[in-house]
Structure 1
């Protein structure tokens, strides 16, 4: 299939799905869910739209919002909000022993997980650097040392923000490591000589040694330079083992309708890795970052059996006190009447096995 015909097929499939999503939002309308996409062949260069602005679920901040943000200066917590840094949960431990039938997750910090599924080791948004552009150095060390990692079978990327796409970390990987990335981001990897890059649109899938990887929508955006806002797509990932067990990695997202839609299309999610930090001030960040209460609602919308919080306790990205996300997510989980054992509020460096 030529690049042009590939692009046409992708656009047609995505348009059909988006039309169904739009119809689903009408009161009283309950459309049949479109079937899951057949996995695409790995790799290959594809033609994408110049911009993905039409995928935004909220407008990007305008000049007035930016002026208010600059005026209020509420980008970091105060001294009291930072005082709990020594109490942040950090308990590094050896990775669990696994086999092809084991599903396990280990939290390295922020949105970086070591996922063991179907006999594969998959890294999500790997950031092992001490510092990222525009942000103070990490306030907790990486919970999983790079030297302790087994051979990495694949990497999944949610979007191109610096705290999720870290060039120094990715340079540590062999260039033939399979990379699964949002639409439009392949060029970034090809420039760095990665040779096995698969770009996916929302609701598209790929397969690696029996593990299915589906790229799903998120309430977020993309930007890496002054001129490339929304030039590449953003989203989350559903990882499905050969035996049907599923992990949802949300990447970075605000709260909204996509969670229930994802839960309908991928029933039986065993574990949802959901962001709970970087949410204050709310007027500035609510469209693109869940707060802890919204993350619990998202887990319920997904129909997920368990939730593991992430995207907190690593980098100071916003104004809430550093320990607040944990206390609030625990309270929200209890208020929702959910089983305490199904909230996997792991310390950085800890692991759990399904």
Structure 2
């Protein structure tokens, strides 16, 4: 994907305008969010070609005409709306904010999880720690405390995480089960959605979820509610401890949207210990979104923006990686890529890995 290999073809006049958009970006973000939250864009959308006047909008919202007008005027400047005499109609960008699920998920994630903490991005870059996380609590990283986040924050975090992974499930399950694994080790299984998808796909497979105590509690409860507690088990662990051994006897080790949560040094340690747990017939499947493998520039933009969440909010030293960086780490860990599949789901890449013969 040939992004960013040459200067943008844009006039100086337009480039200056784009610079002003960046300067006011936090304001435009909140305007778009409020236009959605108060139902203004949706109301205009349902009016179709007729459009809405300020009076029409005022009748159906709790806002004053002043509040509506300042939002509407900025919405016009942002290209969300256009005006025909005294009526307002939805433009294409506004349409996608209303109708596109990805835009909604991303917007809620940025507002609820990231927005306040992004004020501390500068300090996070300097100190290598997620300084923005302090808006939620006095924690070193976000991962052990996901279950303790405020309800709305937690909701938006999981909706963001699951939106991208869930879109890949349909393509992934046949690929994962083509070798008919009897025992899958789900490393960093979170709420257990992948484990439950596997048990629903194959009535015989057993899944062991390796994760922190808080996440395991949620995952195992979900397995019990689905009636598969006899096939889904937990392996409590802290993967950042060098002495932490991996669950043995896995036919397939699974890591989905997981390795991006760690620094390169930590990834190498995790992959090395995974390789040590694998037999000659085991395989490791890694599912990630690499910014250089995105089929569209919008995907690369979203992936690179997510790296900044890791910097300021998650742990301060991880990111969404370039695929070459991951391939290098896989090789250093004593593994090789047996199959490399792009464009799964929403820009995911699946790397199927095995141990190098010299490591057996």
With normalisation by structure 1, the TM-score equals 0.34
Greater share of residues in helix? 2
Larger CA Rg, structure 1 vs 2: 2
Q: Which has the bigger relative contact order, CA under 8 A and spacing at least 6?
A: 1
